[in-house]
C-alpha cells in the first residue's frame, strides 16, 4: 500500500562502469556548490552586520523611567503574575523621604530580576504593566557561557537616565521615542 503519491521505485539495476567511479555524481555535487557561490547570501556577518527586525519584534526587556529619570516600576507584581514562564522575581520597598527624585511611586522594586533562560519574549509583562514601567526592546540578550549571565538584574534592565545620559536614553527608546514623548 502506498502512503503517499511521492513514493519512488528503488532502481536495483547493476551499476554501469561510469556510475561505479562516481565521477558524474561528484561533478553534480560540485556544480551545486559552485552555483551557490553566485546566489544572494542568506547569512550575515554578525555582529558587524545587523538585521533590521520586524516592527513587532519583541526582544530584551527594559525597565522604563519617566522624563525626570525616576523609576516607573511600583513593584506591584502584575508582570510576574502574568508571566507564563515564571521568569520574573522582585522585592518591593517603601520610598523614603528624599527619594522622590529616584522613584515615581511610593513603592518601588528594590530588586527586580528576569531569568532570560526562561523568558519566551511573549510580551505579557509589558501588557500587564499599568505603569508603562517595562517594555520589550528591539534587541536581544547576548550569548553567555554562564547560566548566571542570563539572570538580568534591575541594573542591567534599567533604561539610561534621561537627565544624566539623554543620548543613551533616546537610543534605548528606539521606536518608542514618539510614543514616549506623548506620555
Ligand atoms: S516576555 Fe513573557 S516570558 Fe518573558 S518575562 Fe515577560 S511575560 Fe515573562
Ligand atoms: S514592571 Fe509594571 S507590572 Fe511589573 S512590578 Fe513594575 S509596575 Fe508592576
Q: What is the pLDDT of residues 53-91, one digit of tens each?
A: 888 889 999 999 998 999 999 999 999 999 999 999 999
Atom number in ligand 2 closest to CA 82 = 3
CA distances from 130 to 73, 118, 124, 134 (A): 9, 23, 12, 9
Average pLDDT over residues 90-102: 95
Say if residue 52's pLDDT is above 90.
no
88 lines ligand 1 (CB under 6 A): yes
Where do the domains of the chain lie, and which CATH numbers do they carry?
A: 61-182 (3.30.70.3270)
Question: What's the CA-to-centroid distance between 60 and ligand 2, angstroms?
Answer: 16
Is the CB of 88 within 6 Å of ligand 2?
no
Residue 180's pLDDT band (cuts 50, 70, 90)? low
Mean pLDDT across the chain: 90
Long-range contacts of 170-173 (CB under 8 A, 24+ apart): 172/62, 172/137
Grid coordinates in use for 130?
499599568
Read off the pLDDT band of 1 (50, 70, 90).
low
Amino acid at each position: 500500500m502506498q502512503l503517499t503519491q511521492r513514493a519512488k521505485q528503488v532502481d536495483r539495476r547493476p551499476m554501469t562502469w561510469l556510475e561505479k567511479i562516481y565521477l558524474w555524481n561528484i561533478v553534480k555535487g560540485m556544480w551545486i556548490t559552485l552555483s551557490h557561490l553566485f546566489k544572494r547570501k542568506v547569512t550575515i556577518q554578525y555582529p558587524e552586520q545587523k538585521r533590521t527586525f520586524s516592527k513587532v519584534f519583541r526582544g530584551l526587556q527594559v525597565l522604563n523611567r519617566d522624563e525626570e529619570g525616576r523609576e516607573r516600576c511600583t513593584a506591584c507584581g502584575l508582570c510576574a503574575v502574568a508571566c507564563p514562564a515564571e521568569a520574573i522575581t522582585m522585592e518591593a520597598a517603601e520610598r523614603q523621604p528624599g527619594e522622590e527624585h529616584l522613584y515615581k511611586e511610593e513603592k518601588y522594586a528594590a530588586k527586580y530580576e528576569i531569568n532570560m533562560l526562561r523568558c519566551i519574549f511573549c510580551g505579557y509583562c509589558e501588557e500587564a504593566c499599568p505603569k508603562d514601567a517595562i517594555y520589550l526592546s528591539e534587541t536581544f540578550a547576548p550569548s553567555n557561557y554562564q547560566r548566571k549571565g542570563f539572570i538580568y538584574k534591575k541594573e542591567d534592565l534599567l533604561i539610561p537616565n534621561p537627565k544624566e545620559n539623554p543620548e543613551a536614553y533616546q537610543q534605548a527608546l528606539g521606536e518608542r521615542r514618539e510614543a514616549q514623548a506623548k506620555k
